[in-house]
A and B are shown apart, each in its own frame.
Chain A
Amino acid sequence: MLPIAVLVYPLPVSLTRAALTPLPPPAGAAAALALLWLLICAPGDAGCRLLTVADLFDRVIRHSGRIHSLATALYEKHFPPRDNELGKSARKCHTSGMLTPNGKEYAQKIPREELTHLILKLLQAWKEPLSHFNQHIEHYQELPDDSLSKAKQISNMVHELKTGVEKVTEKMQSMGIISNSLNGMASSEATGLSISNEANMMSDSDFIHCFRRDSNKVQSYLKILKCRIMPENSC
């Protein structure tokens, strides 16, 4: 299925490379497969077809939902939420500095490009800290295997999600749904890196707490974005 997909729908080479290179096998291969499946082929279709923006949105939303679920599972298993715990640590997420909409109306008001950029920025901000967190818990934490695999899974999925969102963004830009002004904002990669250093200083529980929150943010923004762009599509 994969070669056929590639043959029929040649992807931008850069994207494919970007998706494949950072991932070591076998997880990398699996992730690549999942990504390609995510981006190219609709599940259940006899063959692959050209995906609409709505399809892509649905997939990235679903994907972000899965990430959030995994984060929640991890959070609730190892860091059971207690009201006092919740407030005790004056935790400060490394993404707290980012100005993000904290409610529906705000999220609906800010420009689509900006919202898209925020999503990408959030995902980017977690990329490096997640892999760092993975290495960290692998070496220093005595977590059960399934938690470790969850953490790994989260890390990979965030990569995929970012790629997926980029794909959607490209598509929207190519269709003129959003302007290309996003390119100017892409320079924030560096700031993301600086943020991730901050993230590495967080405690595990704070880290999971913050990631869970941001994954929920991403999902919410994606949903808002989708319904803003395609209000007729199951919104």
Chain B
Amino acid sequence: MGKIEWAMWANEQALAAGLIYLTGGIVGVAGQFRGWQFAAFGVAAGCFVCMLEYPRGKRSKGTSVARTGQYCFTVCVKAFGPLTQNYYVRALLHAALSVPGGFMLATVLGCVCLGMASLIYLSAAIHGEHWEPILLTKEVKTAVGESIKEPPSNPPPRPPAELRRKRVEDVEGAAYVNPMPVITNE
């Protein structure tokens, strides 16, 4: 196996697990199954896991692909500092959240999937990975209008000097009318 960032896969697995936990919880609560309290917990835990896992972390090597609209989530997750950065904490958190799901059939799948995600995060933590937010550095944009008023600082691209040299043989042909009026200071 090559050098992989386990956290990438753990993230996908955890997000899927969150959705499954949530769905199982909704079915358990809506159907008023016995042990529906565990299902209610599943709904809450599922939502929480989804929100935590939705923003992708920055890859240490290579280009990171952010999920659509993940900026707000990135900011929230970043706000918790080391709690969300450290993957040991995440592994423990997911393991803890998954346990109540095991007490009811509707949430048992969410439980095992989240448990798997926890294991993969543990592997990521052991390999020294941690979560970095994907944030674009904001560039200061000068308003377009201002720069137009300034004169150009570079000359326009044109053929090299040898070709622009005045043609001695044909002085008439080489002449042109200056578009700008030239006022001599006399």
Do A and B make up one complex? Answer: no
Q: Mark A residues whose CB is within 8 Å of B.
A: none
Q: Mark B residues whose CB is within 8 Å of A.
A: none
